[in-house]
Structure 1
Amino acid sequence: MAQDKHNRMSTGISGMDDMLKGGLIAGRPYVVAGTTGSGKTTFSIQFLQQGVRQGERALFVSIDEPPSELRENVRFLGWDVGKIRILDVHPTAKAYNRKDSLVEVGAQRSVGSLREARQDARAEAMKQVSPDLSPQSLQMMLRQELQEVRYSRVVIDSITSLKRLSGGDDDVDMGIMSLLRFLSESNVTCILITDMPDPTSMEPEILMARGTIRLHKLMVASKAERFVTIEKFRGSAHDTQPRPMNITRNGIIIDSHKKVPKSILKIMQAVPSWDARI
């Protein structure tokens, strides 16, 4: 058996390191994708907490949540995130109010289209308030942070919000690719959180990341069930099967030896990019 010469970094998540055959390969960017409530933020904080326990420097770049809310949300786990540096880069939203979110749409538009229209309106309003947040400006902020402190672990939450606030055009895609290249060259192990990407397109963060971990949340008989899959992990063997996942008072626990029932596996295979209700 060939010896693994990679420097491995533990995720701090029970069962995840087993699926990764020893942990993440250090110094590379990874994507953690999933729908709302699938456990993405918990996953990333647990990853940073593991670094803190090992004496490493950890940075959480917050776009979605204010730092105070983030701390409150993980308090039930008994975690002290005081040693994690939280960098709040969200643009000022004080000019955004309810009237900005009201969009005239034809009666024929679906609820999904209305939701998308409201999201587009909010993104446009945020751009008018502060055009400063973009992949390029975030890269500059991270460059300064990494020059001042030697971080080993970085989380960006989320790439989805970063793209919405930046406009989502081709320049943004190029900026995301440049950001991931910068993170790779900076030799930090980075998790980029993203919502479920459009199954008809290939997002730049998915293309450029060295690995993609997807968290699934399915409604099974009116009960939420969670699973995890490793869709890509360059440079290493890994578990290719979905495994059950639970969020407990001790954080995320993955049963890396238990198989997913065939009935659920069929649904996951039928819609690999989207969670489902069964």
Structure 2
Amino acid sequence: MPKPPEHERAAEVKRSSTRTEQRIKLGIEGLDEMLGGGLVQNSVTGIIGTYGTGKTTFAINFIFEGLKQGEVCILISLDERAEMLMESIRRRGYELDKYLDKTFFLIKLDPTDFTLAVNSIKNDIPTLIQETNASRVVIDPISLFEGLLPDEASRRLEMFKFVERMRDENCTLVMTSETDTQIPYASKYGLVEYLVDCVILLRYVRASDLSGTHLAVEVVKMRRSQHSREIKPYEIQPDDVVVYSEASVF
């Protein structure tokens, strides 16, 4: 039996999913369509990708979509220096100063300070979410937090406890993660994709004629929701991220 056109299938995904779950948009139109209208409210999402695929850019889009809707948002960075991250946000055209320390809180943790970073993520962040009534939270990247833990057993236990504690907060959480150096479809430590509700995979796809490399996005997993299982090309433009939901990756 022939498949219905892509736009009809996408519309059906959106209709069926929005009937039961409230959606939180990432502000990336084509990706929100692939997700059936956006992330499920109060869910936990992992954005996984290798270097240069735009994990932080996707996360910032998620934050500023919330700010535009009048929400309180928190971005916890374990990677970039705060001033460099703020400059990057401003270059993309976001009105950072309009929100900073009012409805947008940028927290920079030093991953080299093991005790401070681990305690902040386990204890201080949930407290800050409650005090500010934040509805969107980003940790970028969670893989640096995982790397602070001494062994696989500790990593599994602490990540499970952290994600379960975050589920008790009234917020939608997005965590970015580097990919495994040997497995480009898995997170660095192979845990994130099992713990979260939604997995968004960002990767490079090389053309069959070796003429160039393209960026592609895939929704690998999404609990409690139907979603597109197709792989779609995307571009990171100076002031926007564009996912071409009607196109196909060759």
What TM-score comes out, normalization by structure 2 length?
0.83
What secondary structure is seen at the aligned counterpart in 2 of 1:16? helix
Q: Partner of 2:93 in structure 1?
A: 78
| CA distance, structure 2, for counterparts of residue 60 and residue 36 of structure 1 | 19
The answer to whether the 8 Å contact 1:133/1:166 transfers is no
Q: 1:89 aligns with which of 109, 122, 125?
A: 109
Q: 2:190 aligns with which of 180, 184, 203?
A: 203
1:215 and 2:202 are equivalent in the alignment: yes
Runs of 4+ in 1 over 6 A off after TM superposition: none
What pairs with 1:104-253 in structure 2 (closer than 5 Å)?
126=112, 130-134=114-118, 137-197=120-180, 199=183, 203-220=190-207, 221=210, 223-253=212-242
The answer to whether the 8 Å contact 2:48/2:199 transfers is yes
Where structure 1 has 5 or more consecutive residues not aligned to the other structure, the ranges are 92-125, 262-278
What TM-score comes out, normalization by structure 1 length?
0.75
Where structure 2 has 5 or more consecutive residues not aligned to the other structure, the ranges are 1-14
Structure 1 residues 178-187 or 78-87, which shifts more? Answer: 78-87
- Amino acid of the structure 2 residue aligned with 1:58: C
Change (3 A) 1:44 1:168: farther
What pairs with 1:8-19 in structure 2 (closer than 5 Å)?
8-19=23-34
| CA distance, structure 2, for counterparts of residue 236 and residue 151 of structure 1 | 24
Aligned residues: 224
Q: Partner of 1:42 in structure 2?
A: 57
The answer to whether the 8 Å contact 1:180/1:205 transfers is no
How far does the alpha carbon of each residue in 1:62-104 deviate from its partner, in whole angstroms, 9 at most, with x for none? 101111111122333111233221011214xxxxxxxxxxxxx
Change (3 A) 1:35 1:87: same
| Higher-Rg member (1/2) | 1
Q: Partner of 1:5 in structure 2?
A: 20
State the identity as a percent. 26
Q: Partner of 1:268 in structure 2?
A: none
How far does the alpha carbon of each residue in 1:32-56 deviate from its partner, in whole angstroms, 9 at most, with x for none? 0000110000000001000000000
What pairs with 1:63-74 in structure 2 (closer than 5 Å)?
63-74=78-89
